[in-house]
Amino acid sequence: MRCRRCGEKAQIHLKRHHAAFCAECFLEYYSRQVHRNIRREKMFRPQERLLLVVSGGKDSMALWDFLLRENYRVTAMYIDLGIGEYSKNSRRVVEQFAENHQADLIVVDLEKEYGFTVPWLARQARRSSCSVCGVVKRYLFNKVALEEDFRVVATGHNLDDEAATLLGNTLSWQVGYLARQAPVLPSTHPKLVKKVKPLFTLTERENLAYVLLNRIGFVHEECPYSKGANSILYKETLNRLEEANPGTKQRFLTTFLKNGRKYFQAHRESIELRECEICGQVTTAEVCSFCRLREIAQRRQTEAERT
Amino acid sequence: MRCRRCGEKAQIHLKRHHAAFCAECFLEYYSRQVHRNIRREKMFRPQERLLLVVSGGKDSMALWDFLLRENYRVTAMYIDLGIGEYSKNSRRVVEQFAENHQADLIVVDLEKEYGFTVPWLARQARRSSCSVCGVVKRYLFNKVALEEDFRVVATGHNLDDEAATLLGNTLSWQVGYLARQAPVLPSTHPKLVKKVKPLFTLTERENLAYVLLNRIGFVHEECPYSKGANSILYKETLNRLEEANPGTKQRFLTTFLKNGRKYFQAHRESIELRECEICGQVTTAEVCSFCRLREIAQRRQTEAERT
């Protein structure tokens, strides 16, 4: 197969676009996609300061590399969640990349700064690690962005992530979540930072190709807690549908964003935002989810000290 | 495993309900489900005359048997679509059942009455057999219902059918179709008959159990044109999700009907209904889909006669 742009031997075949590219033209395609997403969805302006949440995985590492190459004013933020070897390896990858590229990096070490890890907290709270992890991450990146005066937080969510989330929310018609799923979540409160997903039209496979072609280090293992997670079941499901009908995944997400989502917006407006009584961050309850988890952690620690 | 109701040895296990039943109690469960659907969704009153569209498959045969047993005033309608052996076998099954039960049956023979079969018409119109078949069936059951003064048409659509249709419409966010999918489609025009699906909460497997336990004849083969159809891909997809999380299929459909569908209703109201210039049946265009197909058939027949 030949490259669609230059006619050289193709290295990557993108069935959903009926296209194949050589390495160089693939990177050009990738770059155009990300630039187009940033511009069309009004994610951020060229000179705007950005906080990028990185996990060490292929997607966030690809985006970090891309934003640096294109001279965006990006600072990365890594949260050490304390998930054994997985966290150690991913932290090493991220710190190494920052050093090699002399890139700005903020590391939040959950255990050092808050006295707990995600697996420990999940056990104490009798919740899944994934749900606790989500609360912790959302809280911390908003907090750090406010403290460091960033108006925009970017994440490496890709097409597979977004389509899987959409499928999960659709299978149980979680209208509130459906109303909120978008590549750009505007700031709806002075203390809530805008969130953007510049890779939302690019697949896992394309981000993998980007990091491999650019020889960017990334943590190859998946988080050990993701095994058996519904998000993986939904990704597999969508991959099977995609195999039968190439383009299904992208159509599912883009037609939702274009035709479906607006119908759920009515619901969204009924959510009232307030400030957490303990930490002052934005929440829909009296005390935010993070502070409720911290209370559980503090109680368990006090109990442990007593015995 | 023991029957949930009577404690006897269970014969059928319904994971999504965390229940197992012996044969007798399963039939009791089945009957309660159908009665509840008819009543709760206000499908029809006990003494109302019903037209039931039967294909000879397990679902419509189960519903026909059930409605007769429960003394509903049901007339069945079978459309001979001219799909080779499949149509011959299913017609035989339906006519045999009507004879055995002295049940009212209207047979429409497409070839005899209109001069074409579904496969021939699909080839002439260069459309899939499934899409032509859908147009023909929807047209004919509405027409026969109007002519014979039935206010309600019932079909044997089951939970798997409805969930698969919903998945298909959701994957491409077909808002118009999403607004119209429901177990009861009310009459929105004097010439449009109300349509109801009393089996919408019962799975294929449960309808199969009903016909086997009651020794009801049904056509075992699937329509030869259904192979490779997306509806089958979507059923398989939902079966895999169901296996991982029992109850997914029913939750997908019921939460849609309860929480999701209402958001699309705004769209629905913008559709304008009119009467077909040729046949007078209700349509959204000048000439209805059935008459457009008939025109193609007549043109081809005239061409064939000339040569």
Structure tokens at B276: 């077909």
User: Is A247 a member of any domain?
Assistant: yes
B227 pLDDT band (50/70/90 cuts)?
confident
- Same domain as B196, residue B72: yes
Interior CA angle at A186 toward A181 and A187, to 5°? 125
Q: Which residues contact A66 (CB under 8 A, 6 or more apart)?
A: A30, A31, A34, A210
Please report, for the domain that includes residue A124, its CATH number: 3.40.50.620
Domain co-membership, B92 together with B70: yes
**For residue B91, what pLDDT band results from cuts at 50, 70 and 90?**
very high
**Distance, CA of A47 to CA of A184 (rounded, Å):** 18
**A97 in Cβ contact with A103 (< 8 Å):** yes
Mean pLDDT of A146-156: 97
Pairing label, strands A19-21, A12-14: antiparallel
- pLDDT of B270 reads 63
Is position B130 annotated in a ligand binding site? no
Give CA–CA dist A173/A256, Å, rounded.
13
B232 CB within 8 Å of a chain A CB: no
Q: Are strands B104-109 and B152-154 parallel, antiparallel or unpaired?
A: unpaired
Residue B283 lies in a domain: no
For A4-26, write each residue's pLDDT tens digit.
999 999 999 998 888 999 999 99
CB contact under 8 A, B259 and A173: yes
Number of structural domains, chain A?
2
The pLDDT score that the predictor gives to residue A227 is 79
Q: CB–CB of B171 and A259 under 8 A?
A: no
CA-to-CA separations, B16 to B32, B200, B245, in angstroms, rounded: 17, 15, 9
Judge whether B269 lies within some domain. Answer: no
Helices (H), A50-174: 58-69, 84-101, 110-114, 118-125, 129-147, 159-171
A92 shares its domain with A13: no
Residues B174 and B199 in one domain: yes
Measured over the CA atoms of residue A260, residue A263, residue A266 and residue A267, the dihedral's sign is negative
Give percent above pLDDT 70 in chain B. 99
Mean pLDDT of all residues belonging to chain A: 94
> How do residues B109-128 score in pLDDT, each as one tens digit?
999 999 999 999 999 999 99
Locate A166 and state its tokens.
Answer: 């959409």
Q: Residue A58: name the closest of A210, A239, A231, A160 by CA.
A: A210
Beta bridge partners of A185: A195
What gap in Å lies between CA A56 and CA A81, rounded to an integer?
A: 12
Average pLDDT over residues A269-296: 90
For B23-78, the pLDDT digits (tens) are 999 999 999 999 999 999 999 999 999 999 999 999 999 999 999 999 999 999 99
| Same domain for B46 and B193 | yes
* CA-based end-to-end distance of chain B: 69
> Which of B170, B241, B266 faces A237 most closely, judged by CB atoms?
B241
Determine whether the interchain pair A173/B230 forms a contact, defined as Cβ–Cβ distance below 8 Å.
no
pLDDT for residue A305: 84
Inter-chain touch A244–B233, beta carbons under 8 Å: yes
Residues in A closer than 8 angstroms to B166, CB to CB, are: none
Residue B72 lies in a domain: yes
A265 near B CB under 8 A: no
Q: Output the pTM of the full model.
A: 0.90
List the single range of A153-157, B57-61, B220-224 with lowest mean pLDDT: B220-224
* A70 and A195, same domain (yes or no): yes
Q: Per the structure block, which two tokens stand in for A284?
A: 């829909």
Q: Which of A181, A253, A174, A251 has its CA nearest to residue B230? A: A251
Flag whether B169 is in a domain.
yes
CA distance A288 to chain B (A): 26
Distance CA A287, CA B302 (A): 77
User: pLDDT digits over B159-192, tens only?
Assistant: 999 999 999 999 999 998 999 899 999 998 999 9
pLDDT score for B17: 87
- Answer yes or no: do A16 and A70 share one domain: no
Copy the structure tokens of residue A159.
């097409």
Calculate mean pLDDT across residues B99-103: 97
Answer yes or no: is B58 within a domain. Answer: yes
Percent with pLDDT over 90 in chain B: 84
Residues B26 and B125 in one domain: no
Q: Which whole number is the average pLDDT over A34-49? A: 96
Alpha-carbon span A93 to B213, nearest angstrom: 62
Does pLDDT of A269 surpass 70? no
Q: Which one of B165, B172, B173, B265 would you mutate to disrupt binding with A, by most A Cβ within 10 Å of its Cβ?
A: B173
Which residues constitute the domain of residue B23?
1-40
pLDDT of residue A113: 94
Residue B288 located in a structural domain = no
Least trusted range by pLDDT, from A95-104, A200-209, A278-287, B31-40: A278-287
Rounded average pLDDT over A61-74: 97
Per-residue pLDDT band at A304 (split at 50, 70, 90): confident
pLDDT value, residue B269: 61
The answer to whether B124 contacts chain A (CB < 8 Å) is no
Residues of chain B positioned with their CB less than 8 A from the CB of A251: 171-172
Phi, psi (deg, nearest 5) at residue A205: -60, -40
Whether the pLDDT of residue A91 is over 90: the answer is yes
Give the DSSP letter of residue B273.
P
Same domain (yes/no): A80, A19: no
A114 near B CB under 8 A: no
Looking at the fold, whether A164 and A51 belong to one and the same domain comes out as: yes
Q: Is residue A275 part of a domain?
A: no
Domain match, B166 and B118 both: yes
CA gap B77, B54 in Å, rounded: 6
Contact between A85 and A261 (Cβ < 8 Å): no
Largest CA distance in chain A: 72
Q: Are residues B57 and B28 in the same domain?
A: no
